[in-house]
A and B are shown apart, each in its own frame.
Chain A
Amino acid sequence: AQTVTQSQPEMSVQEAETVTLSCTYDTSESDYYLFWYKQPPSRQMILVIRQEAYKQQNATENRFSVNFQKAAKSFSLKISDSQLGDAAMYFCAYRRYNNDMRFGAGTRLTVKP
């Protein structure tokens, strides 16, 4: 069974606009990590942002922020002031402590100039 679900295979945003990518996950654990990774055409996995489940405050990294709803098991990524370089595949990922990381199917983001 898929632990991480990304329901949006593709998303599109106009340059300088804001876009939100959705992610839900399934777990019975109380302590874990959540991540968003970006994979550009080079296919390198680049960490965008991380969230520790025990922290209630949503993580932010410059133009990237998350909306973490632990009870709802939801972890969405908001990209503000979108740039052409943001175009990539975005993977939501879940990791239990000291275990492997599990990925969602990914969302392909297109940024229109």
Chain B
Amino acid sequence: AAGVIQSPRHLIKEKRETATLKCYPIPRHDTVYWYQQGPGQDPQFLISFYEKMQSDKGSIPDRFSAQQFSDYHSELNMSSLELGDSALYFCASSSTLGQGENTGELFFGEGSRLTVL
């Protein structure tokens, strides 16, 4: 079965540079979530999109922005990178509860590891 695809898997940037992460959700999933997991920490919710519209916002820095495109893929843009942005960034997708074979589960990609030097 198709899974959530994230790219790139690894990314190395310098301070103050910009990075873009991409996420391709499972086909027919209408909601995308972005999470940030620092070393030794639990995943922290950043932002979510439902049907290409931002649906909820968590602890996303103002330097970060995201969007979901017409083909449902999503991109997380991070500017003015700081050392503290080094983390594993997960994208997850789901279908809206009450529709189809919804189990409440979020399906996670393998993550994009960002290192800021």
List the interface of chain A (C-beta within 8 A of B). Answer: 33, 35, 42-45, 47, 50, 52, 91, 95, 97-106
Contact = CB atoms under 8 A, between A and B. Distances in A.
Contacts of B104: 33, 35, 50, 52, 95, 97
A102 B110 contact: no
28 contacts: A33-B104, A35-B104, A35-B105, A42-B110, A43-B111, A44-B108, A44-B111, A45-B92, A45-B111, A47-B105, A50-B103, A50-B104, A50-B105, A52-B104, A91-B42, A91-B43, A95-B104, A95-B106, A97-B97, A97-B104, A98-B31, A98-B50, A100-B45, A100-B56, A100-B58, A101-B45, A103-B43, A105-B42
Contact of A98 (B43, B90, B96, B110): B96
Contact of A101 (B33, B50, B97, B110): B33
Contact of A99 (B37, B56, B88): B56
B86 interface: no
Contacts of A104: 42
A9 B110 CA distance: 24
Contact of B42 (A97, A99, A106): A106
A103 B90 CA distance: 13
Interface in B28-66: 31, 33, 37, 41-43, 45, 48, 50, 56, 58
A100 B42 CA distance: 14
Interface string B101-117: 00111101011000000
A42 B109 CA distance: 12
